[in-house]
């Protein structure tokens, strides 16, 4: 990592201000580019590759990805500091996978803490333990996905097994300030009561974890795949109905002893 954290560089593809649902308060989300997983339903396919690429959107070609310093990112993040102060908000790193750029992610989180902002990351935690350890002291809120308890099925839909993820979940639960488990509910993948209940049992077993969010699959990414010249593998899959989500919510509640389960983040 650069000696001065503000000079550390990394690759992002978007910064979104006034985010209300990714951690407490009013937040700015920085989307880091590159991910180890290739989830079939991913709604940000432009986030997956580390390399800078072109995406066609609304007839216009846009460049996805740019290399920036922490100082440049913070200049944008600081513009809403008054709102963080009023609401207890701050910086959220999303992606892509921020743990895939560990030095950049750590520098960003440390910079945010230096300004007194709350920090959060949205992560799959598919990373070496050392990377998790390096970020831990600088993250106030972990928003971590558990997608499936069956490793083979996990691999089929995300290209990776879940062993390291589950191990890291335990480690983060034991050591982090605050951890929320999030479950993308994806038809054909994990939308049966048994599958959701299994995840809930696991989340329930994690020390200090009291919240689980069920996030219904949506089709945000669909048009982006075409814009990137890729095929959308979930074509024809409809988002889960409200009644189905409510049924899964009950299944998750039934499987846990201490979790507050909700639909949506």
Partner 1 sequence: MNQIKFVIEKSPRIQRLIDHLYAATPQIEADRAELITESYKQTEGLPIVKRRSAAFRHILENIPIVIRPEELIVGSNSIVPRSCQTFPEYSFEWLEGEYDTIATRDADRFYISPETVERLKKVHPYWKGKTVSDLAAQSMDPEVLDVFLNHGIFTVGNYFYNGIGHINVDYAKVIYKGLEGVIEEARQAMAKLYIGNGDYLSRKNFLESVIESCEAVIFYARRYSELALKEAGKCTDSVRKAELLRIAETCDRVPAKPARNFYEACQAFWFVQQLIQCESSGHSISPGRFDQYMYPLFKKDLDNGTITLEEAQEYLDCIWVKLNDLTKVRDAASAEGFAGYGLFQNLIVGGQNEDGVDVTNELSYMCMEATMHVRLPQPSLSIRVWNCTPHDLLIKAAAVTREGLGVPAFYNDEVIIPAIMARGLTLQDARDYCIIGCVEPQKGARTDGWHDAAFFNMCRPLELVFSNGYDKGELIGLQTGDVEKMTTFEEFFDAYKAQELHFIEMMVHADNAVDYAHSVRCPLPFQSCLCNDCIERGVSLQEGGAHYNFTGPQGFGIANMTDALLAIKTLVFEEKKVTMAEMKQALADNFGKGFIPKKASELTVEVAKNLAAEGIAINEAVIKEIYNGLINASHISADKKARYDEILRMIEALPKYGNDITEVDAFAREVGNTYTKPFENFTNPRGGIFQAGLYPVSANVPLGYQTGATPDGRLAYTPIADGVGPASGRDIKGPTATANSVARLDHGIASNGTLFNQKFHPSALSSMSSLEKFVAYLRGYFDQKGMHVQYNVVSRETLIDAQKNPEKYKTLVVRVAGYSALFTTLSRSLQDDIINRTEQGGL
Tell me if 63 contacts partner 1 by CB under 8 A: no
Tell me if 18 contacts partner 1 by CB under 8 A: yes
Tell me if 116 contacts partner 1 by CB under 8 A: no
Name residues contacting partner 1, limited to 234-253 (CB under 8 A).
Answer: 239, 242
Q: Which of 219, 230, 244, 250 binds partner 1 (CB under 8 A)?
A: 219
Given a contact cutoff of 8 angstroms between Cβ atoms, the answer to whether 36 and 46 are in contact is: no
Q: Which of 150, 220, 254, 258 binds partner 1 (CB under 8 A)?
A: 220
Tell me if 21 contacts partner 1 by CB under 8 A: yes
Tell me if 264 contacts partner 1 by CB under 8 A: yes
Q: How many C-beta atoms surround the C-beta of residue 239 within 10 A?
A: 14
Tell me if 187 contacts partner 1 by CB under 8 A: no
| Shorter beta-carbon distance to partner 1: residue 152 or 238 | 238
Tell me if 166 contacts partner 1 by CB under 8 A: no
Q: How many C-beta atoms surround the C-beta of residue 4 within 10 A?
A: 11
Q: Which of 141, 147, 154, 182 binds partner 1 (CB under 8 A)?
A: 182
The 3-state secondary structure of the chain, one letter per residue: CCCCHHHCEEEEEEEEEEECCCCCCCEEEEEECCCCCCCCCCCCHHHCCCCCEEEEECCEEEEECEEEEHHHHHHHHHHHHHHHHHHCCEEEEECCCHHHCHHHHHHHHHHHHHCCCEEEEEECCCCCHHHHHHHHHHCCEEEEECCCCCHHHHHHHHCCCCHHHHHHHHHHHHHCCCEEEEEEECCCCCCCHHHHHHHHHHHHHCCCCCEEEEEECCCCCHHHHHHCCCCCCCCCCCCCCHHHHHHHHHHHHHHCCCCEEEECC
User: Least separation, in Å, of the C-beta of 144 and partner 1?
Assistant: 13
User: Least separation, in Å, of the C-beta of 130 and partner 1?
Assistant: 29
Which stretch, 87-95, 97-105, 191-199, 251-259, contacts partner 1 (CB under 8 A)? 87-95
Tell me if 2 contacts partner 1 by CB under 8 A: no
Q: Which of 89, 90, 95, 240 binds partner 1 (CB under 8 A)?
A: 89
| Shorter beta-carbon distance to partner 1: residue 16 or 208 | 16
Q: Which residues bind partner 1 (CB under 8 A)?
A: 16-22, 25-26, 29, 79-80, 82-83, 85-89, 182, 213, 215-216, 218-224, 239, 242, 264-265
């Amino acid at each position: 990592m650069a000696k001065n954290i503000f000079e550390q560089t990394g690759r992002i593809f978007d910064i979104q201000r006034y985010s209300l649902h990714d951690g407490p308060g009013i937040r700015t989300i920085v989307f880091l580019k590159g991910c180890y997983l290739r989830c079939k339903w991913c709604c940000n396919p432009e986030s997956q590759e580390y390399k800078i690429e072109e995406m066609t959107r609304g007839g216009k070609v846009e460049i996805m990805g740019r290399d920036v310093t922490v100082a440049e990112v913070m200049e944008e993040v600081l513009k809403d500091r008054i709102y963080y102060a009023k609401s207890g908000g701050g910086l959220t790193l999303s992606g892509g996978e921020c743990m895939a750029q560990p030095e950049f992610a750590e520098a960003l989180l440390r910079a945010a803490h230096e300004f007194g902002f709350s920090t959060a990351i949205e992560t799959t935690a598919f990373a070496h333990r050392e990377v998790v350890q390096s970020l831990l002291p600088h993250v106030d809120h972990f928003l971590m996905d558990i997608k499936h308890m069956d490793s083979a099925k996990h691999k089929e839909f995300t290209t990776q097994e879940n062993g390291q993820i589950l191990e890291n979940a335990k480690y983060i639960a034991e050591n982090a300030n605050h951890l929320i488990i999030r479950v993308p509910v994806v038809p054909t993948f994990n939308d049966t009561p048994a599958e959701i209940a299994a995840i809930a049992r696991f989340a329930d077993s994690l020390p200090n974890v009291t919240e689980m969010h069920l996030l219904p699959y949506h089709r945000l990414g669909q048009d982006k795949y075409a814009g990137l010249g890729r095929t959308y593998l979930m074509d024809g899959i409809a988002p889960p109905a409200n009644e189905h989500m409510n049924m899964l919510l009950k299944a998750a509640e039934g499987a846990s002893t201490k979790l507050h389960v909700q639909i949506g983040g």
